[in-house]
Chain A
Amino acid sequence: MLTTILAHRGHLTFKQFSQMIGELVKKKDEYDIDIVIYKKLITLLIEILENVMKYSDNFIEFTRKHPEFQPEFILSRNGASYLIESVNPVKESDISIVRQKIDKVNSLDLTALKALYRETIRNGSFTDKGGAGLGFIEMAKTTNGPLFYQFDRISEQFYNFKLYLRLQ
């Protein structure tokens, strides 16, 4: 049975982001989430929501005009599996870099992923948004599986970026 543990729809502020982390802390006991899984969920939640927040300047005007395309986030559980789904608009011009980053981590096995993580933490630089270039690597390393994604066109300039992560 699919159970929703956390859900959010709409523009995400840092305060709301912190509240969601706080919610997950409370849900840990309510849903009897194993400590190892819980730590991984925290990691995934932080990396996904930070991405949505950091790049919200790119789509906030668009979502104001088109409120039907708000960012969405859902964490659910089905038996022993946890599913994280996130949706947010991205500019068409940003698609290729996102696709390139995800396809790269999806092409690597866990050993190669860890090597890429070590290389990036040692030599990578920060983006102007304060990103460390480690987010997708961390997600793939944490889930030990592919990052599923798709882009759906929603306007001339924007696509909805849908990201699905499964944690066993």
Chain B
Amino acid sequence: MESLLIHPTISTPFINFDLNSGIFEMSGVSRPEDVLDFYRPVMEWLEKLESNVLAKTTAGQELKKIQLEYKMDYFNTGSSKFILKITKVLSSIHQAGKDLSVTWHYEAGDEQMREDGEYLAEAADIEFNFQEDDE
């Protein structure tokens, strides 16, 4: 199974879910023209990863930990549901025995972004680390 790399555009985020390092990064802007279409391959990739972990395939066993890093500038409400779905799949992989940490980065002073992270953490029922970054 390959890592997932999606290059950013003016309306879609950078996604780099690196199976070798275990660092799963999503950053930038998310307001795709068709949110369902954009996130479909991401969700398919995550479901495949989950299957590999549950079936204890080589790919599943090689993944030791997941360090999920959200570094969003802004996202629309449609994307927020997918951020929640991504977090939930990774939480399920965590319950199957993989270490998981989630860090929610936000720009200094951007309390709305921090609050969005708090909603998502609560909805996913998982603890987020909050990291305030300088501009």
A residues neighboring B (CB under 8 Å): 14, 18, 21-22, 35-36, 39-40, 42-43, 46-47, 50, 114, 117-118, 121-122, 124, 126, 130-132, 134-135, 138, 142
**Do residues B76 and A121 form an inter-chain contact, with CB atoms below 8 A?**
no
How would residues 118 to 131 of chain B score, 1 for a CB under 8 Å from any chain A CB and 0 otherwise? 01101100000000
Instruction: List 22 A–B pairs whose Cβ atoms lie within 8 Å, in order of A's numbering.
Output: A14-B33, A18-B10, A22-B10, A35-B109, A36-B110, A39-B112, A40-B112, A43-B74, A46-B76, A47-B76, A50-B31, A118-B119, A118-B123, A121-B120, A122-B84, A126-B36, A130-B34, A130-B78, A132-B77, A134-B77, A135-B77, A142-B112
Name which of B77, B112, B123 has the most chain A CB atoms within 10 A of its CB: B77
User: Told that A121-B119, A126-B35 touch, could you supply 15 new A-B pairs with CB distance under 8 A?
Assistant: A18-B11, A36-B112, A40-B112, A43-B74, A50-B76, A118-B122, A121-B84, A122-B84, A124-B81, A126-B36, A130-B35, A130-B78, A132-B78, A135-B77, A142-B112
Main secondary structure of the interface of B (DSSP, over half): helix
Complex CA–CA separation, A126 to B39 (angstroms): 13
Complex CA–CA separation, A43 to B73 (angstroms): 11
How distant is B16 from chain A, measured CB to nearest CB, in Å?
Answer: 23
How distant is B88 from chain A, measured CB to nearest CB, in Å?
Answer: 10
B110 nearest CB neighbor, chain A only: A39
**What residues of chain B lie closer than 8 Å to A114, measured between beta carbons?**
119
Judged by a CB distance under 8 angstroms, whether B132 is at the interface is no
Give the residues from 77 to 135 in chain B that come closer than 8 angstroms, CB to CB, to chain A: 77-78, 80-81, 84, 107, 109-113, 119-120, 122-123, 135
**Do residues A39 and B74 form an inter-chain contact, with CB atoms below 8 A?**
yes
B residues neighboring A (CB under 8 Å): 10-11, 31, 33-36, 74, 76-78, 80-81, 84, 107, 109-113, 119-120, 122-123, 135
**What residues of chain B lie closer than 8 Å to A142, measured between beta carbons?**
112
Complex CA–CA separation, A131 to B35 (angstroms): 9
**What residues of chain B lie closer than 8 Å to A21, measured between beta carbons?**
31
**Do residues B11 and A121 form an inter-chain contact, with CB atoms below 8 A?**
no
Complex CA–CA separation, A117 to B110 (angstroms): 19
Q: Which of A18, A35, A50, A134 contacts B80 (CB 8 A)?
A: A134
A121 nearest CB neighbor, chain B only: B123
Q: Which of B36, B74, B111, B113 contacts A130 (CB 8 A)?
A: B36
Complex CA–CA separation, A159 to B119 (angstroms): 36
**What residues of chain A lie closer than 8 Å to B112, measured between beta carbons?**
36, 39-40, 43, 142
